[in-house]
């Protein structure tokens, strides 16, 4: 025992000395370095693993198939955030210092970490891409020049779901007098859709009931009994992690039809439905991207990455979140390509990438070229609109896989825009920001 | 009125699910005085091993159950040897902390072996309302819940018999009363601890199967421990019966409060309500319902 | 050889009761302070300051708070993160609602608010002991973040419930760069640590220890138990509250109530246990260990992976980190249940005799 202790003291001294050399790793020069704030452990580890594996698989594809972006190879490093805000900030600071060009663009994949980085991004000149999460009012790029909630934000999801329900009922006017429950994760994330849903309820005349589920949501007996008593026409599920599976299985338990439940896109992956088993059958979810393997890009990943043994996890291929990871990486790569078009074919830095994202215009033709086809909608970002599409598409869980049941559609864009601008203006006055577009 | 009964029955049955987890804590605390925070991780490990075996080797239910149980026994013995034995006679808080370290270790190990994918667990029980009860009384009662209650009942009975009648059980109770005295009369403490941890592993496996069948086998299974803690303090750390009664009380009151009180104060109160209630109860009876009364002497 | 107190005579009681009675310790302390206040700001990069040193100092303060409660007064608490949340939210609201409020005063008031809340949750400690108390403090841990999320007033009706902390400015001087923030945090932490060190040597500190060692006996010799325990809860929560305010204002820049979760409470408890129960120095050592180890492991694993071309899946390295971290904690507790502070003591003993151990 005594000997152990001496060894331990010596070891600690040594570790302390080594720790002084943090952070060490240097990246290969001449590559476009991507910093990835990932998470693969903890309650949301499964979601993170699917998304980040997809992202990295796409980066590998670009290297293996195209030899990089215009000849500039990609390199990347993933830092484990554990979905924890403080660790996210540490990872961000570490990856930021890696190369002279910075980490390209950060996808925090966590609303909490996004909030932690929003004030840092402009100072460090690193763009944040928040694909379907984060701060909704950041869609106004004149107030948030460094934040890009591309594709769609939470309010697009909420109004899109209302529109979808309206369509199912046979028109938005039929919603009058209907009862809709929002079953939400009791956190910042779950509260995000409240204002816009309340506005919609007032406008369309449906009755809205908000029912919170305390974290982590692995037991929802009382919530579902309340729902059973209230007898709503529809239930909107706004959950994350185990809460989704539990909601589906508890719905079955109290006999609420799954065909009357619509989730948002964080409640619409295989992770949620498979865990609940047959209880998920018939459940709808809004999505930013389609699931499935019938896309050229997925086949390319299988051929150029997995066949060479460089892929992540073959079981994840074609799942909703894995495909979303592909799309997220694709948008970043295209932004780099756009930036290269302006600044030259060499590794570009955060400021240049920011310009690239803000001037991103991916039309259907380009999506077809990239092999994405209809997996994601077209996207055009401008300074005033950092969202781009605002489109959602609905999928239904049927026989063990997701099936698209609607076309790309959008909710009440005018209402959202008005609310986004109001909220962004409030933020601008609080922080003393003069709204405006950035040059160059 | 039927809605009230529905909530009450639902709460009682949910409480049974909490009790299943709480039982594991009680067993270990009773025999070794360790507040084992790794119990949640053990539930996760057990369920994940079970589905992992089923998936990988296409084993039938009982074979997978047997192998998973064997894995839990091995885990229990290893914990006793590697973690507990060197920490004998340390303060309780040190042991408690060691079990939190153990929780990290087990969580990491489980996912390293079986991966992070969320898996479905099918134990062949339908989680749907029983039609007869629904029609007659308009009350939703799931057959799954009833079976869970049955399992918990059987488990408690078996454990009670085990503790009361068998030789090992009596030795366990002796150890729980006084380690030193038990050693002095020749009870092999180390073996007893290994047995207790294995039995706790078995309870974890059962709890993991029940919870996993409902929510899928995923990391969040470790959170079921948090549902069990108020049950523990209400029922008393040392009492098997307390775990069951505490679970029923907590489950029922929690649900009734969420449904009838929640809407007035913003809802989502389940997260803390059970704790506050247990706290208030402790003010009246500091050792819980069935805990052993402590007498402080100078 | 170098660490020997022979020849240092104490001629007065005051000298005997000095904070650091041994000359070498005094010099070492001065040296450390000089490095912390001058050397670090001069040489450390942004990464070190913002990602490691500031959180280390903030966590040290929180661990110090918990150590007062758990280590000195013997009351186990699992609610430290909740009291940090109270401090952060209160400081934000004082700053927001009272025009011209000096930020330091907001921090202090945040701490005091946390102290009051802490006393409320400390009340049951008179009846409840041990793990029952620990689990009961979880009531605070779950109730407080819920309350902060539910009552919109606390977050100034921010839609998401996330508060963004105001910029720090003292007498017109902005603390906006990492270096300045670091110096501010360091100053506050050093001051409070000094205060704590003196407090535990005073009458109240001795009363705490008496209660910890055996409360019935303490009562018999005339220590007012409720009074003593409540002060411990108040002081401890005050430290946690100030730490929470610093965490929000100087480190993350925002307050998300969900960020102050049970995990954080456990981390702080770990710092206390690994660092050394009932030791001021231990709080710092523990905070350093718990903050640095995961980062060190991650970097080491990434490096190993790159150096030997192991081609490990990122998922595998994440799991490996978790396993090693858990294993290390167990290992430490087995080797030295009294924590790093005790190891330091042993090291000092050895140094005293070195190089002639006999």
With CB atoms and an 8 Å threshold, state whether A186 touches C146: yes
With CB atoms and an 8 Å threshold, state whether B218 touches A186: no
Structure tokens at A345: 């074919």
Question: Which of A93, A135, A312 is the closest to C46 by Cβ?
Answer: A93
Chains B and C form CB pairs within 8 A to the count of: 135
Percent of chain C with pLDDT over 90: 43
The pLDDT value recorded for residue A160 is 93
Q: Between residues A383 and B180, which one has the greater pLDDT?
A: A383
Question: Which of A41, A112, A120 is the closest to C319 by Cβ?
Answer: A41
Q: Which residues of B touch C128 (CB under 8 A)?
A: 279, 282-283, 286
CB-CB contact of A35 with A56 (8 Å):
no
For residue A12, list its beta bridge partners.
none
With CB atoms and an 8 Å threshold, state whether A242 touches B255: no
With CB atoms and an 8 Å threshold, state whether A86 touches C251: yes
Q: Which residues of C touch B232 (CB under 8 A)?
A: 135
> What's the gap in Å between the CA of C216 and the closest CA on chain A?
35
With CB atoms and an 8 Å threshold, state whether A84 touches C263: yes
Q: Which of residues 18-37 of B touch C (CB under 8 A)?
A: 35
The pLDDT value recorded for residue C193 is 95
pLDDT digits (tens, 9 = 90+) for A242-288: 999 999 999 998 999 999 999 999 999 999 999 888 899 999 999 99
CB-CB contact of C68 with C240 (8 Å):
no
The pLDDT value recorded for residue A21 is 55
With CB atoms and an 8 Å threshold, state whether C139 touches B272: yes
Q: Which chain B residue has its CA at the smallest distance from C317's CA?
A: B112
With CB atoms and an 8 Å threshold, state whether B120 touches A277: yes
Of the candidate ranges A208-217, A273-282, B198-207, C293-302, the one whose mean pLDDT is the lowest: C293-302
Q: b/e map of B260-298 (b: 16 or more CB within 10 Å)?
A: eebeeebbbbbbbbbbbbbbebbeeebbbbbbeeeeeee
For the segment A120-134, the average pLDDT, to the nearest whole number, is 90
Q: Which residues of A touch B140 (CB under 8 A)?
A: 225, 228, 253-255
Give the best residue of C182, C276, C299, C348 to mutate against chain A (max A CB count within 10 A).
C299
Residue C306 has pLDDT above 80, yes or no: no
Chains that touch B (3 or more CB pairs under 8 A): A, C
Confidence label for B247 from pLDDT (cuts 50, 70 and 90): very high
The pTM score is 0.91
pLDDT digits (tens, 9 = 90+) for A46-83: 999 999 999 999 999 999 999 999 999 999 988 888 88
CB-CB contact of A260 with A369 (8 Å):
no
- Name all contacts of B180-188 with Cβ < 8 Å and 24+ positions apart: none
- What is chain A's mean pLDDT, rounded? 89
> What's the gap in Å between the CA of C328 and the closest CA on chain B?
8
User: What is the distance between the alpha carbons of residues A355 and A313, in angstroms, rounded to a whole number?
Assistant: 33
Q: Which residues of C touch A90 (CB under 8 A)?
A: 51-52, 55, 295
> What's the gap in Å between the CA of C309 and the closest CA on chain A?
13
Residue C22 has pLDDT above 90, yes or no: no
Q: Which residues of B touch C321 (CB under 8 A)?
A: 108
The pLDDT value recorded for residue A20 is 55
Query: How far, CA to CA in Å, does A176 sit from each of A169, A171, A183, A208, C331?
Result: 10, 10, 20, 11, 64
The pLDDT value recorded for residue A250 is 93
Label residue A275 exposed, middle or buried (CB < 10 Å: 0-12, 13-18, 19+). buried
User: What is the distance between the alpha carbons of residues B192 and B203, in angstroms, rounded to a whole number?
Assistant: 16
- What is chain B's mean pLDDT, rounded? 88
pLDDT digits (tens, 9 = 90+) for A371-424: 999 999 999 999 989 988 889 999 999 988 999 999 999 888 888 999 999 989
Residue A22 has pLDDT above 60, yes or no: no
With CB atoms and an 8 Å threshold, state whether B116 touches A45: yes
> What's the gap in Å between the CA of B28 and the closest CA on chain A?
25
Q: Which residues of A touch B224 (CB under 8 A)?
A: 218
User: What is the distance between the alpha carbons of residues B235 and B287, in angstroms, rounded to a whole number?
Assistant: 9
Structure tokens at B152: 């918990």
DSSP A238-282: E--THHHHHHHHHHHHHT--GGGEEE-GGG-SHHHHHHHGGGGTT
Question: Which of A4, A41, A188 is the closest to C161 by Cβ?
Answer: A188
User: What is the distance between the alpha carbons of residues B223 and A300, in angstroms, rounded to a whole number?
Assistant: 40
Question: Which of A4, A93, A116 is the closest to C335 by Cβ?
Answer: A4
> What's the gap in Å between the CA of C168 and the closest CA on chain A?
13
For the segment A91-109, the average pLDDT, to the nearest whole number, is 87
For residue B129, list its beta bridge partners.
B142
Give the best residue of A22, A25, A190 to mutate against chain C (max C CB count within 10 A).
A22
Residue C55 has pLDDT above 60, yes or no: yes
pLDDT digits (tens, 9 = 90+) for A137-160: 899 999 999 999 988 889 999 999
With CB atoms and an 8 Å threshold, state whether A279 touches B134: no
Q: Which of residues 122-161 of C touch A (CB under 8 A)?
A: 146, 149, 159-161
Q: Which of residues 123-182 of B touch C (CB under 8 A)?
A: none
Residue A205 has pLDDT above 70, yes or no: yes
Q: Between residues C4 and B162, which one has the greater pLDDT?
A: B162
Q: Hey, what's the torsion of the CAs at B267, B272, B277, B282, to 10 degrees?
A: -170
Residue C326 has pLDDT above 80, yes or no: yes
- Name all contacts of A390-393 with Cβ < 8 Å and 24+ positions apart: A390/A151, A390/A152, A390/A153, A390/A156, A390/A416, A391/A151, A391/A152, A391/A156, A391/A160, A392/A152, A392/A156, A392/A157, A392/A160, A392/A161, A392/A265, A392/A286, A392/A287, A392/A288, A393/A286, A393/A287, A393/A288, A393/A290
With CB atoms and an 8 Å threshold, state whether A274 touches B118: yes
Question: Which of C253, C302, C350 is the closest to A77 by Cβ?
Answer: C302
Q: Which residues of B touch A223 (CB under 8 A)?
A: 258
CB-CB contact of B64 with B46 (8 Å):
no
User: What is the distance between the alpha carbons of residues A337 and A306, in angstroms, rounded to a whole number?
Assistant: 25
Cis peptide before A216 (omega within 30 of 0): yes
Residue ranges of E strands in chain C: 163-164, 169-170, 173-174, 254-255
Residue A2 has pLDDT above 80, yes or no: no
* DSSP H or E run through B237: none
- What is chain C's mean pLDDT, rounded? 88
User: What is the distance between the alpha carbons of residues C103 and C108, in angstroms, rounded to a whole number?
Assistant: 9
Q: Which of residues 133-192 of A touch C (CB under 8 A)?
A: 135, 186-189, 191-192
Q: Which residues of A touch C357 (CB under 8 A)?
A: none
The pLDDT value recorded for residue B65 is 94
Q: Which residues of A touch B265 (CB under 8 A)?
A: none
């Amino acid at each position: 025992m005594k000997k152990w202790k001496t060894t331990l003291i010596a070891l600690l001294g040594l570790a302390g000395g080594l720790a002084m050399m943090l952070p060490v790793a240097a990246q290969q020069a001449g590559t476009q370095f991507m910093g990835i704030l990932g998470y693969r452990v903890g309650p949301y580890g499964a979601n993170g693993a699917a998304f980040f594996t997809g992202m990295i698989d796409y980066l590998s594809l670009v290297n293996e198939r195209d030899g990089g972006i215009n000849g500039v190879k990609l390199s990347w490093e993933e830092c484990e955030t554990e979905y924890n805000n403080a660790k996210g900030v540490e990872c961000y600071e570490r990856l930021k210092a890696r190369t002279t060009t910075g980490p390209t663009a950060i996808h925090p994949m966590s609303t909490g970490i996004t909030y932690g980085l929003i004030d840092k991004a402009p100072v460090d000149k690193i763009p944040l891409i928040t694909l379907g999460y984060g701060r909704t009012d950041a869609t106004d790029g004149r107030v948030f020049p460094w934040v890009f909630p591309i594709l769609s934000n939470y309010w697009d999801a909420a109004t899109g779901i209302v529109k979808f329900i309206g369509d199912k009922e046979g028109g938005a006017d039929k919603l009058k007098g209907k009862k809709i429950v929002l079953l939400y994760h009791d956190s910042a994330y779950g509260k995000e859709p409240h204002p816009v849903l309340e506005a919609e309820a007032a406008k369309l005349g449906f009755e809205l009931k908000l029912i919170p589920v305390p974290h982590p949501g692995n037991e929802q007996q009382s919530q579902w009994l309340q729902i059973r008593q209230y007898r709503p026409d529809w239930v909107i599920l706004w959950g994350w992690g185990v809460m989704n599976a539990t909601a589906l299985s508890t719905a079955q338990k109290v006999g609420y039809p799954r065909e009357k439940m619509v989730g948002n896109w964080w409640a619409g992956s295989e992770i949620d439905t498979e865990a609940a088993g047959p209880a998920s059958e018939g459940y709808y979810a809004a999505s930013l991207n389609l699931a499935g393997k019938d896309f050229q890009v997925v086949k390319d990943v299988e051929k150029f990455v997995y066949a060479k043994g460089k892929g992540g996890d073959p079981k994840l291929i074609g799942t909703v979140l894995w495909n979303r990871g592909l799309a997220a990486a694709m948008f970043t790569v295209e932004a780099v390509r756009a930036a290269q078009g302006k600044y030259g074919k060499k590794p570009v830095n955060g400021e240049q990438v920011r310009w690239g994202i803000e001037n991103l215009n991916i039309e259907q033709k380009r999506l077809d070229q990239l092999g994405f086809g209809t997996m994601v909608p077209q996207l055009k970002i401008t300074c005033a609109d950092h969202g781009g599409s605002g489109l959602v598409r609905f999928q239904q869980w049927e026989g063990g896989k997701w099936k698209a049941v609607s076309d790309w559609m959008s909710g009440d864009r005018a209402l959202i825009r008005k609310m986004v601008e109001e909220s962004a203006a409030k933020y601008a006055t609080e922080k003393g920001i003069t709204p405006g577009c950035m040059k160059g | 009125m039927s809605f009230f009964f529905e909530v009450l029955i639902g709460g009682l049955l949910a409480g049974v699910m909490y009790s299943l987890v709480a039982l594991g804590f009680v067993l270990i605390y009773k025999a070794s005085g360790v507040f084992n925070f790794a119990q949640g991780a053990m539930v996760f490990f057990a369920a994940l091993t079970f589905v992992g075996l089923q998936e990988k080797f296409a084993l039938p239910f009982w074979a997978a159950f047997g192998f998973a149980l064997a894995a839990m026994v091995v885990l229990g013995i290893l914990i006793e040897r590697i973690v507990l034995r060197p920490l004998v006679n340390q303060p309780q808080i040190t042991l408690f902390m060691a079990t939190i370290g153990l929780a990290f270790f087990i969580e990491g190990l489980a996912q390293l072996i079986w991966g992070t994918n969320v898996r479905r667990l099918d134990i062949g029980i339908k989680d749907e309302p029983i039609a007869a009860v629904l029609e007659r009384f308009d009350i939703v009662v799931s057959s799954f819940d009833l079976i869970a209650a049955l399992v918990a009942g059987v488990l408690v009975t078996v454990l009670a018999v085990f503790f009361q009648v068998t030789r090992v059980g009596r030795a366990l109770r002796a150890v729980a009363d006084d380690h030193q005295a038990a050693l002095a009369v020749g009870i092999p403490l180390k073996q007893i601890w290994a047995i207790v941890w294995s039995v706790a592993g078995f309870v974890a496996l059962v709890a993991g199967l029940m919870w996993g069948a409902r929510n899928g086998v995923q990391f969040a299974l470790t959170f079921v421990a948090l549902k069990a803690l108020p049950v523990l303090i209400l029922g008393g750390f040392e009492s098997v019966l307390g775990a069951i009664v505490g679970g029923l009380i907590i489950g029922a009151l929690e649900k009734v409060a969420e449904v009838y009180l929640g809407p007035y104060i913003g809802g989502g109160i389940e997260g803390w309500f059970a704790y506050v209630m247990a706290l208030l109860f402790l003010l009246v009876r500091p050792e819980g319902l069935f805990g052993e009364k402590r007498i402080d002497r100078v | 050889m170098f660490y020997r107190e022979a020849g240092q005579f104490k001629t007065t009681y005051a000298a005997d009761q000095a904070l650091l009675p041994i000359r070498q310790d005094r010099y070492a302390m001065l040296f450390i302070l000089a490095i912390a206040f001058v050397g670090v700001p001069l040489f450390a990069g942004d990464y070190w300051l913002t990602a490691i040193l500031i959180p280390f100092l903030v966590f040290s303060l929180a661990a110090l708070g918990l150590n007062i409660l758990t280590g000195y007064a013997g009351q186990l608490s699992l609610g430290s993160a909740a009291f940090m949340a109270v401090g952060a939210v209160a400081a934000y609201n004082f700053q927001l609602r009272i025009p011209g409020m000096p930020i330091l005063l907001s921090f202090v008031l945040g701490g005091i608010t946390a102290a009051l809340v802490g006393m409320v949750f400390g009340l049951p400690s008179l009846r409840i002991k041990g793990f029952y108390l620990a689990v009961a403090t979880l009531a605070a841990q779950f109730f407080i973040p819920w309350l902060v999320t539910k009552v919109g007033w606390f977050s100034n009706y921010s839609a998401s419930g996330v508060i963004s902390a105001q910029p720090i400015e003292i007498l017109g001087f902005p603390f906006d760069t990492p270096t300045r923030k670091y110096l501010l945090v360091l100053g506050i932490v050093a001051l409070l640590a000094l205060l704590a060190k003196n407090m535990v040597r005073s009458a109240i500190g001795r009363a705490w220890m008496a209660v910890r060692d055996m409360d019935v006996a303490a009562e018999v010799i005339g220590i007012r138990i409720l009074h003593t325990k409540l002060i411990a809860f108040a002081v401890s929560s005050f430290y946690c509250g100030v730490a929470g305010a610093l965490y929000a204002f100087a480190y993350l820049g925002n307050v998300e109530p969900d960020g102050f979760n049970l995990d954080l409470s456990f981390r702080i408890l770990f710092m206390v246990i690994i660092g050394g129960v009932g030791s001021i120095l231990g709080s710092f050592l523990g905070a350093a260990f718990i903050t640095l180890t995961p980062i060190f492991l991650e970097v080491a694993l990434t490096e190993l992976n790159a150096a030997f071309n192991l081609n490990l899946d990122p998922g595998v390295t994440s799991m490996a980190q978790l396993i090693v971290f858990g294993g290390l904690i167990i290992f430490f507790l087995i080797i030295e249940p009294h924590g790093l502070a005790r190891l330091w003591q042993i090291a000092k003993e050895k140094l005293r005799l070195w190089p002639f151990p006999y």
